[in-house]
Structure 1
Amino acid sequence: MLKIGLTGGIASGKSMVASRLAELGATLVDADALARKVVEPGTPGLARVVDAFGTDMLDAGGRLDRARLGSVVFGDPSRLAVLNGIVHPLVREAAAGIIAAAPRGAVVVQDIPLLVETGQGSNFHLVLVVDAPDDIRIARMLEHRGMTREEAATRMAAQATRADRLAAADVVLENAGTVDALLAQVDRLWTERLVPFADNLRRGARAARPGAAVLSPARADWPAQAARLGARIRAAAPADILAVDHVGSTAVPGLPAKDVIDLQVTVTGLDVADRIAPLLAAAGFPPVPGANFDTPKPAAPDPAQWEKRFHANADPGRAVNVHVRPAGSSGWHYALLFRDWLRNDPEAAAMYAEHKLALTKQFAGTRGTHAYAEAKEPWFTDVALPGMDAWAAHSGWRPPSYTLGSPRP
Structure 2
Amino acid sequence: MSKTGPLIIGLTGSIAMGKSTVAAMLVEEGIPLFDADAEVYRLQGPKGALLPAIETAFPGTTGPEGVLRQKLGAAVFGNPDQLKILEAIVHPAVAEARRQFLAEHDDAPMVVFDIPLLFEKGGYQGVDTIIVVSAPAPVQRARALAREGMTAEKFDHILTLQTPDAEKCARADHVIDTGTSLAETRAQVRALVKNLQQSH
- Displacement of 1:103: 4.5
CA distance in structure 2 between the aligned counterparts of 1:25 and 1:40, rounded to whole angstroms = 27
CA distance in 2, matches of 1:161, 1:75: 20
For 1:85, the equivalent position in structure 2 comes to 88
Q: Are 1:32 and 2:34 matched, yes or no?
A: no
Identical-residue share of aligned pairs (%):
37
Q: TM-score, normalised by structure 1?
A: 0.45
State which drifts further: 84-93 or 64-73. 64-73
Unaligned segments of structure 1, at least 5 residues: 199-409
Residues 177 and 115 of structure 1, relative CA distance in 2, 3 Å threshold: same
Aligned to 1:128: 131
Deviation at 1:72, TM superposition (A): 4.2
RMSD: 2.0
Q: Matched residues in 1 for 2:179 and 2:108: separation?
A: 33
Question: Which amino acid in 2 is paired with 1:4?
Answer: I
Superposed, 1:247-396 pairs within 5 Å as: none
Show the counterpart of 1:10.
15
- Given candidates 95, 101, 107, the residue that maps to 1:104 is 107
Contact 1:27 1:106 in 2 (8 A): no
Q: After TM superposition, give the deviation of residue 186 of structure 1 in Å.
A: 0.6
Mean Cα deviation higher: 102-111 or 25-34: 102-111
Amino acid at match of 2:76: V
Which of 1 and 2 has higher RCO (CA within 8 Å, sep 6+)?
2
Q: Secondary structure at the match of 2:66?
A: coil
Please list the CA deviations of residues 54-89 of structure 1 after superposition, one character each: whole Å capped at 9, or x if unmatched: 21x235x44212244334434433333332222111
Q: Which runs of 5+ in 2 are unaligned?
A: 1-5
Alignment of 1:19 with 2:24, yes or no, is yes
Task: Please give the alpha-carbon distance, in whole angstroms, between the structure 2 residues aligned to 1:188 and 1:195.
Answer: 10
Partner of 1:195: 197
Secondary structure, aligned partner of 1:34: helix
Q: Are 1:170 and 2:167 counterparts?
A: no
1:117-266 matched pairs, under 5 angstroms: 117-191=120-194, 193-198=195-200
Contact 1:8 1:113 in 2 (8 A): yes
1:58 aligns with 2:62: yes
Q: C-alpha displacement at 1:47, in angstroms? A: 1.6
Q: Distance between the aligned counterparts of 2:157 and 2:71, measured in 1? A: 14
Large movers: runs of 4+ above 6 Å: none
Per-residue CA deviation, residues 269-294 of structure 1 (Å, 9 max, x unaligned), is xxxxxxxxxxxxxxxxxxxxxxxxxx
Checking the alignment, whether the CA contact within 8 Å between 1:7 and 1:130 is kept in structure 2 is: yes
Q: Are 1:173 and 1:186, in contact at CA under 8 Å, matched by a contact in 2?
A: yes
CA contact (8 A) 2:32 2:112 kept: yes
Q: Which amino acid letter does the alignment assign opposite residue 179 of structure 1?
A: L
Compared CA separation, residues 168 and 70, structure 1 to 2 (3 A): farther
Alpha-carbon deviation of 1:105? 4.2
Partner SS, residue 104 of structure 1: coil
Distance 1:146 1:184, change over 3 A: farther
Alpha-carbon distance in structure 2 between the residues aligned to 1:104 and 1:52: 39
Alignment partners' CA distance in 1, 2:8 and 2:154: 33
Q: Given that residues 135 and 178 in structure 2 are in contact (C-alpha distance below 8 angstroms), is that contact kept between their aligned partners in structure 1?
A: yes
In the TM superposition, residue 125 of structure 1 has moved relative to its aligned partner by 1.5
Normalised to the residue count of structure 2, the TM-score between the two structures is 0.87
Partner of 1:400: none
1:153 deviates by 1.5
Of 153-162 and 105-114, the range deviating more from structure 2: 153-162
